[in-house]
Structure 1
Amino acid sequence: VGVLTNQREGDILFIDEIHRLRPIIEEFLYPAMEDWKVEIRLAEGPRAQTMTMNIERFTLVGATTRFGLLTAPMRARFGIIQRLNFYPPAELAVIIARSAEILGVHTTAEGAALLARRARGTPRVANRLLRRVRDYAQVEADGVITPEVAEAALAMLDVDEYGLDEMDGRILRTLIEKFDGGPAGVQTLAVALGEDVSTLEEVYEPFLIQEGFLMRTPRGRVATPRAYDHLGFVLPRGRDGGDTPQSSLFDES
C-alpha cells in the first residue's frame, strides 16, 4: 500500500518476476490499475469496512519469464503485452563495448563480436563473460581483449563456440552416453546429473532447445543430430531426430 500511495503522476512502478506475487498483493493492485484507487480493509468479518484512497496516475510494468503462471485477472488488466526475444550478436556487441568502457578495459570490435556470439543472446551473460575475460586479459594480455584472448579465456571457462558451458555439455553427453540419446524422462535425467528438475527445465533446457541440441517429446528428452555432431558422437543408424529410432524397411527383424 505504501508503495502505491507514494507514486507520483507519471511514475513507473516496475515489478520483476510478477508471477510470484501473492494473491492478496494482486488484489491491492487491481483497483490501482483500473481506477487509480487503493482499497484498505479496516476490519474483518461481516461488518468489515473498507477505506478507499485515491492515488496518482502511474504506469505499472511487470516482467516475468513464466507468463502462464500469471493469474487470468492479472493478465487481463495489462493493456500492452510484449515479448522480449534473445538479443542478436550485433546488439550484444554494442552492449559489451559499452560495458568494457565502464570497466576500463579495451576490447577490439572483433573481440566484442566473439563474446557476443557466445553470450546466449542475454546481456547478463555477456557482461558476466566480459568480466571473466577482462580478468584473463589483465594477467595474460596487457588488458586488451582480442579474439585470440577471448578465445583462450573462454576455453578456460569451458564455453564453446555456441555458448554452451560445462553443464550444457554434461546434459547432452549424459543423454547420449547413458540413455542412447533418449528419450529419457526429466526426472531420470536429473538424477543421473545430480541436479534438480526445476533447474534443468528453467535454466538449461530452454537454450538447448532453442539452439536445436535438445528436444522435449511426450516420452522424454532426446538429443538431436546436431548434439551428436557437436560432441563428436556418431548418430546411431536409423535415428532421424525424432523421439525414437526409425527402423529401415529392409532391416532384419
Structure 2
Amino acid sequence: MSPYDSDPADRLVTPAADGEDQAVEAALRPRQLDEFIGQERVREQLSLVLQAARQRGSAPDHVLLSGPPGLGKTTLSMIIAAELGAPIRITSGPAIQHAGDLAAILSSLTEGEVLFLDEIHRMSRPAEEMLYMAMEDFRVDVIVGKGPGATAIPLELPPFTLVGATTRAGLLPPPLRDRFGFTGHMEFYAPAELQRVVHRSAGLLDVEIDPAGAAEIAGRSRGTPRIANRLLRRVRDYAQVKHDGRVSREIAAQALDVYEVDARGLDRLDRAVLDALLRLFGGGPVGLSTLAVAVGEESETVEEVAEPFLVREGLLARTPRGRIATAAAWRHLGLTPPAQGGRIGASAQSELWGDGSDGGKAG
C-alpha cells in the first residue's frame, strides 16, 4: 500500500455531508435570515425578494442557489420557508428519474409550499422538461396511455416556490436556468465569518471556546461552515478526553494536528499530492495520471477531490503541459526548489512523458 493512500470518503475536510453531519446540522441551522452568518450580498437580495412577496401576499419567484457544497444552500432553503411561514418539501435531482416521479411530488404540493430540489442539475431530462411548464404556468400535462391512444391530461398546480440548489450551475440548461426569478451564488467564507460560525456552533453544542481557539479552527476550515462545524466537534472530543474540555488555540492546534489537518486546512491527501509533485517530480510539470499513480489514487480522485482546493490556495497550477507547484507550495512544505526553479529538466520531461500523452490527462 502506498504511504499516500487515503479514502476520500473518510476525509475530515470533505465538504460533502455524511450521516453525522446531517444530524448535527439540523440542530445547528439558523432558523431566520438575520441569524444566518456570511453571504451578505445573497442575504440582502433574498431578503428583498421575500419581503416583497409577503407584502403582495403571493408566492415569491423561484430561487436558484449555486456554489460549492457545505456553504448553506439547504439551510437557506429552510429559512425561505420559515420566513414565508410555509411548509417545505425536500427532494433531490438524482431521486427524480422519471417525469412521473416529479408529477407525483408537484401534484401533492399545497398553495405557497416551498419545494427544495437539491442537486437540480442531476434531474432526468423528461422530468426537467416537465418542470419548465410547472415553474412557468403552474401546470403539468400527465400522459395517460401509450402510443397513438395516449392522452395528455392537464393538471393545474397551486402556486408554489421552487428552490433549486446546485454545485454545478454550468450544467443547468438555459431554459431551466432562465425560469428562476432570483439566482444567488454562494461564496467561500472569510476566516472572520467562519470564526463567528464556530462561536455560534460552540454555544449550541455547549463547548467552552475562546476567540483564539475559534480562530484556529476557522483558519483550517477551507472557507466552508460544514467543515468548520466538523472540526469543532473533533476538537471538542480531544479537549474533553485530553484536557478539561475548554478549547484554546493550543488545544485546537494539537487536536487538528492529531487529525492531520494543517494550518492551511490541507489534509493527508492534499499534502501527499504536493509532496509527490515536489519531491518526486521537482515541482513539475507532470501529467495527472502520473501524479495519481505516485500517490496511489485514481486520477479522478486527485483531479476532483484534492486539486480544487490546492489550486484555490495557489499551491498548484494546471497547465497544458501538466501540473506544476507554485513557490507557495515549496514554502508550505518547507522545501527548497531545485536549481531549475522548481521544474524537472527537459530530458526528464521527455523520459517521463514520452510523446506527451502521459497515458491520460496532462493539463
TM-score for both structures, normalised by structure 2? 0.64
The answer as to whether partners of 2:209 and 2:248 remain within 8 angstroms in 1 is yes
1:80 aligns with 2:182: yes
The answer as to whether partners of 2:281 and 2:344 remain within 8 angstroms in 1 is no
Q: Give the one of 185, 194, 199 matched to 2:287.
A: 185
Q: 1:34 to 1:159 in 2, by over 3 A?
A: same
- Describe how 1:3-22 pairs up with structure 2 within 5 A: 3-22=105-124
Distance, in Å, in 2 between the alignment partners of 1:71 and 1:202 is 22
1:27 aligns with 2:129: yes
Amino acid at match of 1:18: I
1:227 aligns with 2:227: no
Name which of structure 1's ranges 152-161 and 4-13 shifts more when overlaid on structure 2: 4-13
The answer as to whether partners of 2:282 and 2:344 remain within 8 angstroms in 1 is no
Q: Which runs of 4+ in 1 moved over 6 A?
A: 243-246
Amino acid at match of 1:196: E
Q: Give the one of 107, 114, 118 matched to 2:216.
A: 114
Distance, in Å, in 2 between the alignment partners of 1:70 and 1:187 is 29
Distance, in Å, in 2 between the alignment partners of 1:245 and 1:57 is 65
1:61 aligned counterpart, secondary structure: strand
The answer as to whether partners of 1:239 and 1:245 remain within 8 angstroms in 2 is no
Distance, in Å, in 2 between the alignment partners of 1:210 and 1:13 is 33
1:101 aligned counterpart, secondary structure: helix
List per-residue Cα deviations over 1:14-64 (Å, max 9, x = no partner): 122111111122122111111111221112223321111111111212222
Q: Give the one of 181, 194, 199 matched to 2:296.
A: 194
1:216 aligned counterpart, secondary structure: strand
1:177 is displaced (CA, Å) by 1.7
2:308 aligned counterpart, secondary structure: helix
Q: 1:34 to 1:244 in 2, by over 3 A?
A: farther
What is the percent sequence identity of the aligned residues?
51
Q: Give the one of 234, 241, 247 matched to 1:132.
A: 234
1:237 is displaced (CA, Å) by 3.0
List per-residue Cα deviations over 1:95-139 (Å, max 9, x = no partner): 111211222211112111111111000011101101110000001
TM-score for both structures, normalised by structure 1? 0.90
In structure 1, the partner of 2:194 is: 92
1:222 aligned counterpart, secondary structure: strand
- Across the aligned residues of Structure 1 and Structure 2, the Cα RMSD in angstroms comes to 1.9
Matched positions, count:
244
In structure 2, the partner of 1:41 is: 143
Distance, in Å, in 1 between the alignment partners of 2:345 and 2:223 is 32
State the structure with bigger RCO (CA 8 A, min sep 6), 1 or 2: 2
Name which of structure 1's ranges 134-143 and 44-53 shifts more when overlaid on structure 2: 44-53
1:64 aligns with 2:166: yes
1:82 aligned counterpart, secondary structure: strand
Amino acid at match of 2:227: V
Distance, in Å, in 2 between the alignment partners of 1:82 and 1:102 is 28
Distance, in Å, in 2 between the alignment partners of 1:105 and 1:96 is 10
2:116 aligned counterpart, secondary structure: strand
In structure 1, the partner of 2:310 is: 208
1:200 is displaced (CA, Å) by 2.2
Gapped regions of structure 2 (runs ≥ 5) = 1-102, 347-363
Distance, in Å, in 2 between the alignment partners of 1:228 and 1:28 is 52
Distance, in Å, in 2 between the alignment partners of 1:120 and 1:170 is 17
2:188 aligned counterpart, secondary structure: coil
Distance, in Å, in 2 between the alignment partners of 1:43 and 1:178 is 64
Distance, in Å, in 2 between the alignment partners of 1:150 and 1:175 is 29
In structure 1, the partner of 2:269 is: 167
Q: Give the one of 312, 316, 320 matched to 1:218.
A: 320
Q: 1:99 to 1:88 in 2, by over 3 A?
A: same
